Amino acid sequence: MRDLAFTIVYGSGRASRKYRKMAKILETGVKTFSPDTEFRVFSGDDIEDRPFVKLKDKFRGKLDICRKCNDPDTRYIYMDSDTFVFCDLQPMFDIIEEGTITLIWKKSPGGKWAGREDLDFPLGCKRAGIEGEIQAYNLNGGFMMWHGGTDVFERALYLFDNYDIPDWKGTYDDEYYICAAIQLSGVKVRDIEDYEANEMRPYWLGNVSVKDGMLFSDAFDVQGRIQHYGTQKWKSEPVQTVARSILRNHYRPANFWERMLAAINRY
């Protein structure tokens, strides 16, 4: 069984440079704390070349790459580039079950996305012409794990290309279409927060500071070592402090010196 963790960065200009820097920091964290993990940064060379016509089209490349990551003998972890990693990823791969997609997945009371009155997801799907029994679930499309051999992202890309859910979220990003595709595909979905081994936390929540060289938030009793901080926090002092530390390579995996000694003894 192959395990692949990856992120995606494409485009040009100032925004792209920011995301490339984030991806470099993410890659450095993975190589430092999970050195046996295969990690890849997909780029514009890996996606279908299509012009941006609609605002949401900037997310199409992400769905295109996730659609292609579908080898039935591979387990995948997708992370947005705005993520810090401070742990071995293997325990996360080990909770991925065949035929499942694992992510934050919470039933939203009243059919409102994230409890927002202006985001009636089931009604939006109906108005867009998407047929099927679709309910509102809150999900985080910035950290997803799945076992290859599913049509979820193929279906999500189809919905994304052929339907426009008529509210600001439906016209802006990809999460509505992932949520609908999960429900219409019949794939087994697991809430990542049900697993004790889960290390992922969304660090745009709560008051965020730095503790022990990592982000710390008062929103969590147990701090996670996979820290999805959100692009809106990129310029914040805590995120910049941690990012600079990672780039200076101040961190070493727990077995760093054992690995170094073993490498020396080989020569």
Side-by-side strand order, sheet with 100-103: 38-42, 2-8, 74-79, 143-147, 100-103, 188-191
Buried b / exposed e over 208-223, threshold 16 CB at 10 Å, is: beeeeebbbbeeeeeb
pLDDT (0 to 100) of residue 115: 81
Q: How many residues does the chain have?
A: 267
Q: What is the DSSP-derived secondary structure letter of residue 89? A: S
The model's pTM is 0.90
Please tell me whether residue 206 adopts helix, strand or coil conformation.
coil
Q: Give dist(CA 160, CA 140) in Å, integer.
A: 17
Q: According to the model, what pLDDT value does residue 58 have? A: 85
pLDDT at 258 over 90: no
User: Could you tell me which residues are beta bridge partners of residue 3?
Assistant: 75
Q: What is the mean pLDDT of the chain?
A: 90
Residues 6+ apart with CB under 8 A from 73: 1, 2, 148
Asked whether 176 and 205 are in contact (CB, 8 A), the reply is no
Q: Is 80 exceeded by the pLDDT of residue 55?
A: no
Under CATH, what is the fold of the domain 2-265? Spore Coat Polysaccharide Biosynthesis Protein SpsA; Chain A (3.90.550)
Q: What is the pLDDT of residues 69-125, one digit of tens each?
A: 999 999 999 999 999 999 999 999 999 999 999 999 999 877 788 888 899 999 999
**pLDDT tens per residue across span 22-31:** 999 999 999 9
pLDDT digits (tens, 9 = 90+) for 135-151: 999 999 999 999 999 99
